[in-house]
Amino acid sequence: MTDPKAIQPSELDQLPDRDPEETAEWQASLDAVTKAAGPHRAAYLMRRTLERAEGAGLALPKLLETDYVNTIPTSAEPTVDGDEEMEQRITAWNRWNAAAMVTRGSKYGVGGHIATFASAAWLYETGFNHFFKGKEGDGSGDQLYIQGHASPGIYARAFLDGRLNEEQLDNFRREAGGNGLPSYPHPRRLPWLWEFPTVSMGLGPISAIYQARFNRYLTSRGIKDLTNSHVWAFLGDGEMDEPESTTALTLASREGLDNLTFVINCNLQRLDGPVRANFKIVQELEAQFRGAGWNVVKSLWGTAWDELFQLDTTGALVRRLREVPDAQVQTYQTRDAAYIREDFFGKDPQLAEMAKLLSDDKILECFHYSRGGHESRKVYAAYKAALAHKGAPTVVLAQTVKGHTLGRGFASKNANHQMKKLSVDEFKDMRDLLGLPIKDSDFVDGVVPYGHPGADSPEVRYLQERRAALGGPAPARRVHPVAPLPAPADKAFASFDKGSGSQNVATTMAFVRLVKDLVRDKETGKRWVPIVPDEARTFGMESLFPSLGIYSPKGQTYEPVDRDQLMYYKEAKNGQILNEGITEAGSMADFIAASTSYATHGEAMIPFYIFYSMFGWQRTADQMWQLGDQLGRGFLVGATAGRTTLTGEGLQHADGHSPAIAATNPAALTYDPAFAYEVATIVKDGLRRMYGEAAPGEDPNVFYYLTVYNEPLPQPAKPSGLGIDEGIVKGLYRFNTAESAGLTPAANAPRIQLLGSGTAIHWALKAQQLLSEEWGVAADVWSATSWTELRRDAMEADAALLRGEERVPYVRQALQGAEGPVLAVSDYMRQVPDQIAQWVEQDWSSLGADGFGLSDTREAARRHFGVDAESIVVAALAQLAGRGEVKATAVKEARERYGL
């Protein structure tokens, strides 16, 4: 019997061999080379053969790793289109000022990072000088996702360009005075410069992918032609460990996003030490990206290495480079030539002979300084190749030295991420290395000076000419003046005012129905961007499939299984729906790209992202913060909301806290509407504020979070009377009184105010009836559409008082004169309604669904948490008994009657 271990993979191939003799000849050739020239030569030939096959488009598995050398050899490098010496001087000034800015700020203890830009300077400068398109040319320009810790270098370039002054540089990380610079790319803090917040690591990569995808979406839908826009994302090699950094790589390759380039600064260091101490991060990333279908360009070694590679006639040098772990490469960076001769070259007799031909200076030049990411011509070649590649995104893996040009005290040291300043002597050494005309006398009282060649100097003129040719300054954020979107016809909103009659309708379905009407609007319908993470059918959105289509760059290449049904699954190149599969992070990245299109592309889009409320804020709150920082606009919809409305689903599906998390985001307007007409009123006002005519003092750069429920219930008609719409928007209005509800309390009956939000108002209405009919208590019911907005208004009133202005919080105005105590209830933890407690003049108490969720019926879950109508009755009686308005025995009697 044949030993299974002896069977080769080729023998297990299911395809018949049409020419076994030819196959045997190929195999024999490989055996012969292995025997005659050794396994290294055989492996070399196989790699070259696989690369040739891949280049010819043969259907073979991809080679996941290539040699640890530059993808583009020196002989194939294109000529740099520019003045390299001039660009060297410009980069020197920027390196100096970036380091000076952080060092000068260190006396205030505000921190800063020097080493990151020092390693990445040429990655940015080459792009700014030759590739990054600005926003003053045709189209929207390029979108740049700048690595957060490199911000001092970007500020330094803006200073050289005349867009920043010395005072602003001196206020780096000191913004309170009004003329400072934020620590990292923060559009909300410096909206004319920064487009994308990136320092929460991992969010830049996923955002860049979905931005490139959204550019294609806008083009395919005929909104705006963005074929000339390119997305560049600058990342750190350590950052690639974040799950968001790599979660969407296959999306980018699957959809052929050749309008996207990742540039990963592989300085081999993260914050505490080597990224892959015992391994090689470049090779790992190459395999990861190539396996995901990306084009990979490696720029690892500078021109000083050319001589060494020419001497490497046996491949020994390439083999040694491939086997040395990253931490040892960092060690070479800090050791002398003798150590490198022994440890690197001495491991192989062929390399030892090579080393005899190299001077100590040559060895140190190669191992201390010469990296592909530190030479403009190497970076230029890599970027040229990236833009030329079609059909797939490209990642440029550029090897650099963290702390390059900052001296031996910084370069490759494990602690350099935390080192915030250079000494005067270190700056003088840096000056000499960079060749800058800065005199010793310019260091007044030990303070390092900023350097500038002059506004009319050749360097500044060259910089500005290059940027003018590329379409203006970069990075830059431009909000082009656009006319407010016309308000949709009022009919779409007013249709909810009459209620649903005897029909039970969940507020989730009410929202979907509203959107169905709004996307049909002739003026604004095309601007809606429905986003859903593979739950469209859960939310009753399948009827949108055939009418709007699901976006796919390939259209529909198959016949859908439900093609003969009315609501079939329709994909289209110009589809409007973004159905992302099971990825909340991807859906949020979609939302961010769409919600900021008004600035990025001068095209206002209206995204709504609907999701299981439990799986929104809890999973992606960091991206919600990114959304607020990027000044995004749109509607987040937490569907199937609440802790007790999902029958049978259990703990991980039961949301009792998303409004509490949302309340922490200053840009989020959080609403918990109870009725369909409230949903319509809130959406209408949101469209006005974000896309229409915002009122004086209103910030349009907000987004709305609405919680909607899957519990079908009768939807009442909108109450008549003044102030209802205002109350819905501001967060509170009286839905009814005991009298208007048709109840007949006694003239001197005790009275209580019941405040309910979302689905909880239905329990409050039932409790209102029980209190009247069984206990002789009159209850008024209020709809609290937004506890958070009530709190913010009250906090603003408090701040006004501190300024000497008289202002009464809206919640106090609304409840003024309301008799009796207040009892608040929601389907969330008590801290959600308790947000407003301190501003309510009446006695306050609350009920909520605190703790973990559980699987059961709605009724059982509500009884468990003590929020059902009967529990509300008991709590109301307890409040009134404490005030002496009902007998204390009534509380015990009610508990026993209702089985509590």
pLDDT-derived band at 420, boundaries 50, 70, 90? low
Determine the average pLDDT of the residues in 646-663. Answer: 91
Q: Parallel, antiparallel, or unpaired: how do β-strands 504-505 and 713-714 relate? A: antiparallel
Residue 825 vs residues 386, 754, 782, 846, 872: alpha-carbon distances, Å: 57, 8, 10, 6, 8
594: region left, alpha or beta (phi > 0 left; psi from -120 to 50 alpha): alpha
> What per-residue confidence (pLDDT) applies to 275?
94
Listed in sequence order, the residues at least 6 apart from 545 whose beta carbon sits closer than 8 Å to its beta carbon are 536, 567, 568, 569, 570, 577
Q: What is the pLDDT of residues 126-177, one digit of tens each?
A: 999 999 999 998 889 999 999 999 999 999 999 999 999 999 999 999 999 8
pTM, whole model, 2 decimals? 0.94
Residue 60 has pLDDT above 80, yes or no: no
pLDDT-derived band at 721, boundaries 50, 70, 90? confident
Q: What is the pLDDT of residues 838-891, one digit of tens each?
A: 999 999 999 999 999 999 999 999 999 999 999 999 999 999 999 999 999 999
**Single-letter amino acid code for the residue at 716:** P
Among residues 316, 359, 309, 317, the alpha carbon closest in space to that of 338 is found at: 359
882: region left, alpha or beta (phi > 0 left; psi from -120 to 50 alpha): alpha
Listed in sequence order, the residues at least 6 apart from 438 whose beta carbon sits closer than 8 Å to its beta carbon are 96, 431, 449, 451
Average pLDDT, the chain: 93
Determine the average pLDDT of the residues in 295-321. Answer: 95
Cis peptide before 714 (omega within 30 of 0): no
> What per-residue confidence (pLDDT) applies to 86?
97
529: region left, alpha or beta (phi > 0 left; psi from -120 to 50 alpha): beta
pLDDT-derived band at 408, boundaries 50, 70, 90? low
pLDDT-derived band at 416, boundaries 50, 70, 90? low
Cβ neighbours around 152 below 10 Å, total = 29
pLDDT-derived band at 259, boundaries 50, 70, 90? very high
Q: Which of 7-16, 97-106, 401-410, 621-630 has the lowest mean pLDDT?
A: 7-16
pLDDT-derived band at 20, boundaries 50, 70, 90? confident
Q: Is 714 helix (H, G, I), strand (E, B) or coil?
A: strand
> What per-residue confidence (pLDDT) applies to 8?
44
Q: Which of 108-117, 488-497, 502-511 has the lowest mean pLDDT?
A: 108-117
Residue 123 has pLDDT above 80, yes or no: yes
> What per-residue confidence (pLDDT) applies to 840?
98
- Name the residue with tokens 């016949």: 559
Angle at 574 between CA 568 and CA 575, to 5 degrees: 40
Q: What percent of the chain has pLDDT over 70?
A: 97
| Calculated CA dihedral for residues 534, 540, 545, 546, nearest 10 degrees | 160
Name the token pair of 636.
């987040």
> What per-residue confidence (pLDDT) applies to 41?
87
Q: What is the pLDDT of residues 545-562, one digit of tens each?
A: 999 999 999 999 999 998
pLDDT-derived band at 755, boundaries 50, 70, 90? very high
H or E segment at 696? none
> What per-residue confidence (pLDDT) applies to 177?
84
